[in-house]
Amino acid sequence: MESIAPAPRRNRFALAAVAVAGAVALTLAACGGGSSGSSGTVSIPENGTDDGTTITLWSRAPLEKQATDAVNAYNKTHKNQVKLELLPNDDVEGKVGAAVQTDSLPDILAGDVVRVPYWTQQGIFHDLTKQIDALPEKSELQSGHIKAGTVDGKEHTLPFVSDISVMVWNKDLYQQAGLDPNKGPANLNDFVTQAKAVAALNKKDVAGTYVAGQSGGALVFTLFPMLWGNGDQAISDDGKKSLLDSDSAKKVFNAYRELANTPNGLGAGSKDETGATWTAPFQNGKIGVMQYPFTAVSALFKSSPFQIGVAPIPGVDSGSSTFLGGDAIGITKDSKHVAQAWNFLAWLMSEQAQQTVFADNNDTASNFKTLESGYKDADPRTLIGNGTIKTGQTPIATNFNDAFNAAGSPFQILFQDAVWGDASKIDADNQAITTALGQ
């Protein structure tokens, strides 16, 4: 038998109103002290309890397919039943913040992995260290989502849905531009050269590449791997300092500035793209090459009217990497069914569940054994995507959302200055990111 204790709530939560995409949303802000939603320890079997209890799970709406697949597979094979509630992406912070105030969080909460360090610091999740360390599959699980929920050596979260970023290109446009349709960019220079070649086609509404200039979340997902592949970092290991004033980072920003100043280099709307329609231009056959979420491109393999190439995101000079994004998952402080909730999480980490829920549905598993052997009948491009995971990273910082992802974040401002504005502000903008990380 193992025991599970709730993480201490180091702060209570206050709700602060912020404007997001023209609407008012609620976000979490820490202050003062408070009491935990549960007390003492709860003894549970190694694999939890399956006794017919209904347990609740909140997940983000963008991952509806994967969350639904997981819940349906579990409910069909267990006495326990998971009740899934999908939250619109922009409503997550407000919904979670309100629930924290009223001690009404669900049994299980899944959220964007870059939000998880802050939530964990604030005591939203139970300490699952003993349970996670005892998992037979732990050494085979991608560790980014576990590390994101680790505070003072105590583990609180596991991988839920792994989403990765890859480089994609339109093979039809490449062929028309005189490029090798089977060879994507191997470095930053290749990326610029190939994007320019497509731009030079001067085809109506066709551009070399596309970027979500007003979406910090999309930008970190697509640009950070170019630094990691090169052996550089975007933020310090302690999550307190931005390193985007490095030579490698400036080369990336300069590449996009060059494309912005090239006719048809960047797709129309790139400067103002908030992320809401970020993937649409490539999907519609209008973009030559760009970084892309794998969960989105894999859905196009059978339906796209043009041929798609997939490769790891190259480093500035060499190497490659990916952003290990997606959602991590944990048991909340308010759960009254901890043993049953753990039964769901332990099952989901098993190789069999990873196969059934993810591999069999052409989605990215979080188990390395499944990634290596569970995709024998998959599209070859899925294997390319899977192969990027071992070189991927997840940036971890308590205030990552405020520094990078939030609307109007200092990182978003840096990118706007670097590509379309006054590039001499990069160093000052980078310092503003560091300030936000340290708040």
Mean pLDDT over the full length of the chain: 89
Q: Which residue has the tokens 């103002």?
A: 272
The predicted model gives 45-60 an average pLDDT of 95
The predicted model gives 67-94 an average pLDDT of 95
One fold for both 2-163+326-374 and 167-323+396-437?
A: yes
Q: What is the structure's pLDDT at 1?
A: 39
Q: What are phi and psi of 191, to 5 degrees?
A: -60, -50
Task: Convert the pLDDT of each residue in 383-404 to its tens digit.
Answer: 999 989 888 999 999 999 999 9
The share of the chain scoring above pLDDT 70, in percent, equals 90
Every domain of the chain and the residues it spans: 2-163+326-374, 167-323+396-437
Beta-bridged to residue 393, according to DSSP, are 323
Written in H, E and C, the secondary structure of 143-187 is CHHHHHCEECCEECCEEEEEECEEEEEEHHHHHHCCCCCCCCCCC
The CATH architecture that domain 2-163+326-374 belongs to is: 3-Layer(aba) Sandwich (3.40)
The share of the chain scoring above pLDDT 90, in percent, equals 79
Q: At 139, is the secondary structure helix, strand, or coil?
A: helix
Q: What are phi and psi of 159, to 5 degrees?
A: -65, 135
Q: Output the pTM of the full model.
A: 0.81
Task: Convert the pLDDT of each residue in 111-170 to its tens digit.
Answer: 999 999 999 999 999 999 999 999 999 999 998 899 999 999 999 999 999 989 999 999
H or E element in which residue 97 lies? helix 92-101
Q: Are strands 81-87 and 54-60 parallel, antiparallel or unpaired?
A: parallel
Bin 405: left if φ > 0, else alpha if -120 < ψ < 50, else beta. Answer: alpha
Task: Convert the pLDDT of each residue in 344-385 to its tens digit.
Answer: 999 999 999 999 999 998 889 999 999 989 998 888 999 999
238, exposed or middle or buried, with CB in 10 Å at 0-12, 13-18, 19+? exposed
The residues, any chain, with a CB within 8 Å of residue 10's CB and separated by 6 or more, are 33, 121, 122, 123
Residue 35 pLDDT > 90: no
Structure tokens at 14: 């206050």
Cβ of 26: how many Cβ atoms within 10 Å? 19
The CATH architecture that domain 167-323+396-437 belongs to is: 3-Layer(aba) Sandwich (3.40)
The residues, any chain, with a CB within 8 Å of residue 247's CB and separated by 6 or more, are none
Task: Convert the pLDDT of each residue in 395-435 to its tens digit.
Answer: 999 999 999 999 899 999 999 999 999 999 999 999 999 99
pLDDT band at 42 (very low <50, low <70, confident <90, very high): low
Q: What is the structure's pLDDT at 236?
A: 97
Structure tokens at 353: 């569940």
